[in-house]
Structure 1
Amino acid sequence: MPGKTPDSSAGSHAAPMPDLMPEPSPPGVRSGVMLRLLSAGLFVVMSLFVRLATVEAPIGQIVFYRSAFALPPIVAYLMWRRQFPKALKTRQPIGHMKRNLYGGAAMVLSFISLAYLPLALATALGFLAPLLAVPAAMLFLRERPGAVAIGAALTGFAGVVLMLAPAFDGPRLDHDTIIGVAAGLAMAVATAAGRVEIKTLTATEAPGTIAFYFAVLCALGGLASWPFGWITPTGHALAYLVAAGISGGLAHITMTEAMARASVSTQAPFDYTAMLWALILDAVIFGLLPSPVSLAGAFVIAASALVIPLSARFTARSEALESAS
């Protein structure tokens, strides 16, 4: 059950067996999808603040603030669910370490990508993660996504390719674009691996527990970069750093709750809706207007996100008609 306390009967290396577990109910899947949509929007807001902070602050310091200031909303969430502090007890310390290894690497690589690329382009590269998450879920979680989920993920990826095309239109790539794209590609791989670990942990761990340990360990990792040079943030820089942490904490909670309610492969296409928010923020904040090709890609992305719920509704109606006949 989403948000449950850890199962004391689970071993320290317990892993879920999705093929032996009952499928989530339609209301559970719908709530998982809604939470995933909210999470996608919050992650874009977090990315905006991170990009603004990279103008002054080094990456390690941003990682610290992003993680440390994510803790207050996470702890408040656990208290609201009456899981604090008992939910902090875990029987899967190795699982948390693996999740934080992948997630921490993805965070650093994402921030590097945001430092060198426009928000929309950096976000688009992150959409490789849901495409990679579908085969990863099939291989490691024994999920069996249907043709609709696989087709929607591939269609969304085609939209990402359309959005990326204008960035590579020219006689040569500049140095910043090469660094940003390379970091974005590596981030997508690390993110996909992290999502598989999150789904594994949700079998026995509360979502807030997963989010709490991720924030704590990443904050410690960011703090370790202090000897290499931090700034003294004031004014806007301080506001960006704190806002990145709070929005990131809320995004992580909603993402983890979503993963406890619906399969990885079902959620994958809905990540693409974040692209629409990235396009809007790039235009409003940075004055970067998308090309017609990028807009076409955004339309394809949005369409792919609608395939799953429309297909589910059609299937439900067909089953209802068959049972009534």
Structure 2
Amino acid sequence: MTPLRGITFKILSVCVFVAMSAIIKATSDDVPPGQAVFFRSLFAIPVIGVWLALRGELHTGLKTRDPLAHFWRGLVGTTSMGLGFAGLGLLPLPEVTAIGYAAPILVVIFAAMFLGEQVRLFRLSMVALGLAGVLVVLSPRLQVDPATLSSRETLGAVIVLLSAVFAALAQIFVRKLVNTETTSAIVFYFSVTASLLALLTLPWGWAVPPLHIFGLLVLAGLLGGVGQILLTTSYRNTDASLIAPFEYTSMILSIMVGYTIFGEVPGAATLAGGAMIVIAGILIILRERQLGLKRTQQRKAGPTNPH
């Protein structure tokens, strides 16, 4: 494994996903979230298919032992995506990014609840810090003063937080899936499932977008596929615990894109709360890496001889 190569692919994937989010935000006034999910998922499929074909995994990589598990993972993940896309139309990009960072924090809680993983005092403390950061980011949107309260932005904050909850649940499903399924199958069948599920939103009204909006939606799908490939490649090259902290570069990129393209200036609550969430997330990752190294050393040492 080559750490620098893995880190490079990780940062590239973050850049691509931020660009995709910006495109979805730019089209949010023209198409509903369900339609955006459809385009993002459908046009990711050919990109992923070509990638698998080039790797010689198109046939073997798409075999599955548990189709129903892919459906449930797809249902939860698609719900998260749809809520996230809806939130992009209601809140500034940096704020959506900051609230989205709650997902890895929530994974720790859900892993203890559903997978029986042990959560010791350090991780509990970091989870508390991260959730406190989420509350700080949300605080301006949840004020009770009618003079400052915006129902649109309050709704956006709640929607994005729910998106983070479903994203965390999706990660729990993925943790179970990796025991029996290949990464290729997980990536491919999620895009297929999301495309089909998005069609269920047709009765709520889909728009016939102008040509340039249609092009942007197709581009969002292509970028989604490319981003998923870059992300998968990064984890093939380097330990997850080493490259995971680079996910938080998306905050810097979101602030830059939000200011440059949408004229958004993040407030003090977004910056302060986002920093708390980032610190908590990075410390959890570093702690997990430290524990992982200790377990590896113990396995290499083997059982000790009491005599």
Alignment TM class, shorter chain as reference: 0.7 to 0.9
Name the CA shift for 1:183/1:242 in 2 (closer, same or farther; >3 Å).
same
Aligned 8 A contact 2:99 2:274 in 1: no
Q: CA deviation at 1:272?
A: 4.1
Aligned 8 A contact 1:156 1:305 in 2: yes
Q: CA deviation at 1:145?
A: 6.0
Q: CA deviation at 1:52?
A: 0.9
Equivalent runs, 1:35-46 vs 2, <5 Å: 38-46=12-20
1:85 is matched with which residue?
Answer: 59
The whole-number CA distance in structure 2 between the counterparts of 1:150 and 1:141 is 16
AA in 1 matched with 2:112: M
AA in 1 matched with 2:91: L
Equivalent runs, 1:41-52 vs 2, <5 Å: 41-52=15-26
Q: CA deviation at 1:122?
A: 1.9
1:287 is matched with which residue?
Answer: 263
Structure 2 portions without partners, runs of 5+: 302-307
1:127 is matched with which residue?
Answer: 101
* Identical positions, percent: 34
Q: CA deviation at 1:166?
A: 4.1
Provide the secondary structure at the position in 1 that maps to 2:89.
helix
1:15 is matched with which residue?
Answer: none
1:138-173 deviation line (CA, Å, top 9, x unaligned):
333344466665555544444444444444568232
The whole-number CA distance in structure 1 between the counterparts of 2:6 and 2:281 is 14
Deviates more, 1:27-36 or 1:115-124: 27-36
AA in 2 matched with 1:238: F
| 1:205 and 2:189 matched | no
Deviates more, 1:30-39 or 1:162-171: 30-39
Name the CA shift for 1:304/1:37 in 2 (closer, same or farther; >3 Å).
farther
TM-score by length of 2: 0.78
TM-score by length of 1: 0.74
| 1:181 and 2:160 matched | no
Name the CA shift for 1:221/1:277 in 2 (closer, same or farther; >3 Å).
same
2:304 is matched with which residue?
Answer: none
The whole-number CA distance in structure 1 between the counterparts of 2:89 and 2:160 is 11
Provide the secondary structure at the position in 2 that maps to 1:116.
coil
Name the CA shift for 1:200/1:39 in 2 (closer, same or farther; >3 Å).
farther
| 1:190 and 2:134 matched | no
- The CA RMSD over aligned residues, in Å, is 3.7
Task: Count how many residue pairs are aligned between Structure 1 and Structure 2.
Answer: 293
Aligned 8 A contact 1:60 1:222 in 2: yes
Deviates more, 1:132-141 or 1:250-259: 250-259
